[in-house]
Structure 1
Amino acid sequence: MADGEDRPVLTGLVALVGVAVVVGLVLGGGALAATQVLGLGEDGGSAESTSAESLYLPTPSKTPDSKDPAFTLAPGDEPTREESPTESESPDDEIVLTLGQPEVGPMQNVDLAGVYPGGEGAILQVERLAGDDWVEFPVTASVSGESFSTYVQTGQLGENKFRMRDTDSGKVSNVVTVTIG
Structure 2
Amino acid sequence: MSEPTERPVLSGLVALVGVGLVVGLLAGITALMGTKVLGVGGGGADSTQNASSGQSLFLPDPVQTDTPSGPLMTLDPNSPTPSVTPSDGGSSAPSATGITLLAGQTQVAAMGQIDLTGVYPDGEGAILQVQRFEDGSWVDFPVTVSVGNQTFATYVMTSRPGENKFRVVDTDTAAESNEVVVTVG
Q: What TM-score, normalized by structure 2, do the two folds share? A: 0.55
The aligned residue for residue 162 of structure 1 is: 167
Q: Distance in 1 between matches of 2:117 and 2:17?
A: 71
The aligned residue for residue 6 of structure 1 is: 6
Q: Kindly indicate whether the alpha-carbon contact (under 8 Å) linking 2:101 and 2:167 is maintained by their aligned counterparts in 1.
A: no
1:41 aligned onto 2:41: yes
Q: Distance in 1 between matches of 2:148 and 2:22?
A: 62
The aligned residue for residue 61 of structure 1 is: 66
The aligned residue for residue 112 of structure 1 is: 116
Q: Kindly indicate whether the alpha-carbon contact (under 8 Å) linking 2:164 and 2:181 is maintained by their aligned counterparts in 1.
A: yes
Q: Distance in 1 between matches of 2:84 and 2:13?
A: 86
The aligned residue for residue 133 of structure 1 is: 139
Q: Kindly indicate whether the alpha-carbon contact (under 8 Å) linking 1:97 and 1:115 is maintained by their aligned counterparts in 2.
A: yes
The aligned residue for residue 28 of structure 1 is: 28
Deviation at 1:17, TM superposition (A): 0.3
Identity %: 30
Q: Kindly indicate whether the alpha-carbon contact (under 8 Å) linking 1:158 and 1:179 is maintained by their aligned counterparts in 2.
A: yes
Deviation at 1:28, TM superposition (A): 1.2
Q: Kindly indicate whether the alpha-carbon contact (under 8 Å) linking 2:128 and 2:147 is maintained by their aligned counterparts in 1.
A: yes
Q: Give, as a single letter, the amino acid of the residue that structure 1 aligns with 2:140.
A: W
Aligned in 2, Cα 1:133/1:125: closer, same or farther, shift over 3 Å? closer
Q: Kindly indicate whether the alpha-carbon contact (under 8 Å) linking 1:114 and 1:149 is maintained by their aligned counterparts in 2.
A: no
| Root mean square deviation, CA, Å | 4.8
Aligned in 2, Cα 1:114/1:3: closer, same or farther, shift over 3 Å? farther
Aligned in 2, Cα 1:21/1:96: closer, same or farther, shift over 3 Å? farther
Q: Distance in 1 between matches of 2:35 and 2:117?
A: 52
The aligned residue for residue 16 of structure 2 is: 16
Q: Distance in 2 between matches of 1:165 and 1:174?
A: 9
Deviation at 1:34, TM superposition (A): 1.0
Q: For structure 1, which segment, 20-29 or 103-112, has the greater mean C-alpha deviation from structure 2 after superposition?
A: 103-112
Q: Kindly indicate whether the alpha-carbon contact (under 8 Å) linking 2:95 and 2:176 is maintained by their aligned counterparts in 1.
A: no
The structure 1 segments of at least 4 consecutive aligned residues displaced by more than 6 Å after TM superposition are: 116-119, 140-146
Aligned in 2, Cα 1:144/1:25: closer, same or farther, shift over 3 Å? farther
Q: Which protein has the larger Cα radius of gyration, Structure 1 or Structure 2?
A: 2
Aligned in 2, Cα 1:40/1:163: closer, same or farther, shift over 3 Å? farther
Q: Give, as a single letter, the amino acid of the residue that structure 2 aligns with 1:77.
A: V
Q: Kindly indicate whether the alpha-carbon contact (under 8 Å) linking 2:133 and 2:164 is maintained by their aligned counterparts in 1.
A: no
1:174 aligned onto 2:152: no
Q: Name the SS for the 1:63 alignment partner.
A: coil
The aligned residue for residue 52 of structure 2 is: none
Deviation at 1:97, TM superposition (A): 3.3
Q: Distance in 2 between matches of 1:35 and 1:164?
A: 67
Give the length in aligned residue pairs.
Answer: 157
Q: Give, as a single letter, the amino acid of the residue that structure 2 aligns with 1:160.
A: K
Q: What TM-score, normalized by structure 1, do the two folds share? A: 0.56
